[in-house]
Amino acid sequence: MAAPWYAVVILAATVLGASITPTEKQTVEKSTCGRVWITVHSPEIKLTNGGQILDAVELNWDFNECSNTPRQIGLFNKRPATWGNALVIYPIQSTEGHIVTRIPLGVGALPAGWETSAGARGPNCLWPWAGAGDADIQAYNCLKIQPTWMEDNAAKINSLRIGELVIPGTHNAGAWRFDTEISTVTRDSFVLCQDRSIWAQLVHGIRYLDFRIAYYEFYPNKDERYWLNHNLIRVRPLVPLLKEIRAFLDVTKEVVFLDAHHFPVGFYEPDGSPIRSVHAGLLEIVHRELGPHLAHADRFATAPGTRGPTLQSLLDADKRLLFSYVDNSVVSENTWLWPILPHLWANTNNPSELFQYLDEAISMSPHPNARSPLHSAMAQTTPTVFDILLLRGSLRMNADAVNRNVTARLVTHWRQQANIISTDFFLANDVIDLSIALSTERGARL
């Protein structure tokens, strides 16, 4: 039977404070019962005067397991101490829920020195804090980065095999801002899936990156021919993003899972056969940029149907980048590649159908004969062609209809068997913090 929500809250608070001195000044999350957390509203809020608010801060709470529900929740720009410090206060009228504030997150530097290079270890807070209580503040939490969460919790999770971890991931990780000759669009209705760079995703705590790689012969420089796409749309050049992954691995002890999930352009002949030279060129670039960190599958892989190597074995060898490849014919010729991992994809634009599918698919995973020890829940809806042509909704609106339920599902329905949870606009859910807490919970069972 699943443990109650408050048990996860206590566990999460323990995890978050594990790597830092547990003084009041350094505590980033606190609650005796229930929980509050900060997310970022993915759609823009349109104002009556014609303006709009981008990336509004959301306040979230769950006090279902508590004997008393706090009467109010507030947004703060520092650790909540008294209600007099709140930027805005709202009444709480249900045991669980959320409020979208009219205050934007804004564009600020990553905290604790992590903007472009290594900073302080442990969880570190951005400016927004949530606090809930009655006369006194009983629970608080911040929007945070978790750049070293695997190292911080090494004693608790390093005996886990990679298929036993809960891993926060990003769907279409490279689709966060256009960077082409004709466009530098920063927001788009049906192409962009993320709001943060690859470096920032890793610093926040994402450990699985879903890449869709395309090849364009017309570029004279070989490196410039490889791009990250969203389907047929070029979004960003590949090589600079590989360099961001390398920079992160160089300054941390974290393990990262990179997935070449789809090759939408340039990798295959019209008859579907792989263009060997294009695949070979990609593998050459990956080896050049990430080689010192690559964990070769032929050294670390375990038998089909098993859960893979332990984190400790990867750390002992100092090989902390696992590269999965969607084409099994290429994998068979390059045994250092990790085989295609199952992508649990509902292929629906209906949130109810998505969760019905994922509930069943995750409960049946991992498959007993799967070649990969990993499996990824693709926790996002998929627009239809007509949605795109008729401009019905947007990826941001779709994510808003899904992400809160992803947070709730991870700690309930998916708690026991989830592995990778891959989402759009990851700041709109609490998957990173919950993945850390649940990985630690699983480690405690060993």
Q: Which of 425, 163, 194 is nearest to 307 (CA)?
A: 163
How confident is the model over 162-218, as pLDDT tens digits?
Answer: 999 999 999 999 999 888 877 777 788 899 999 999 999 999 999 999 999 999 999
* Counted domains in the chain: 2
Kindly report the backbone phi and psi dihedral angles of residue 432, in degrees, each rounded to the nearest multiple of 5, phi listed first. Answer: -65, -55
Indicate if the pLDDT at residue 30 is higher than 70: yes
Residue 26 confidence (pLDDT): 63
Share of the chain above pLDDT 70, in %: 94
Are 23 and 168 part of one and the same domain? no
Are 140 and 167 part of one and the same domain? no
Residue range(s) defining the domain that contains residue 166: 149-445
Concatenating the DSSP letter of every residue in 181-233 gives SS---S--SSS---SS-HHHHHHHT--EEEEEEEE-TT-SSSGGGEEEEETTE
How confident is the model over 37-95, as pLDDT tens digits?
Answer: 999 999 999 999 989 999 999 999 999 999 999 999 999 999 999 999 999 999 999 99
Find the CATH number of the domain harbouring 438: 3.20.20.190
> pTM of the full predicted structure?
0.93
Indicate if the pLDDT at residue 14 is higher than 70: no
Are 96 and 175 part of one and the same domain? no
Q: Is 26 exposed, middle or buried (0-12, 13-18, 19+ CB in 10 A)?
A: middle
Average pLDDT of the segment spanning 217-229:
96
Are 138 and 230 part of one and the same domain? no
Q: Considering only 181-195, 283-297, 411-425, which range has the smallest mean pLDDT? A: 181-195
Both tokens of residue 14? 């323990």
Are 161 and 127 part of one and the same domain? no
Residue 280 confidence (pLDDT): 98
Average pLDDT of the segment spanning 293-304:
93
Are 296 and 420 part of one and the same domain? yes
Tell me how far apart the alpha carbons of residues 295 and 299 are, in angstroms, rounded to a whole number.
Answer: 8
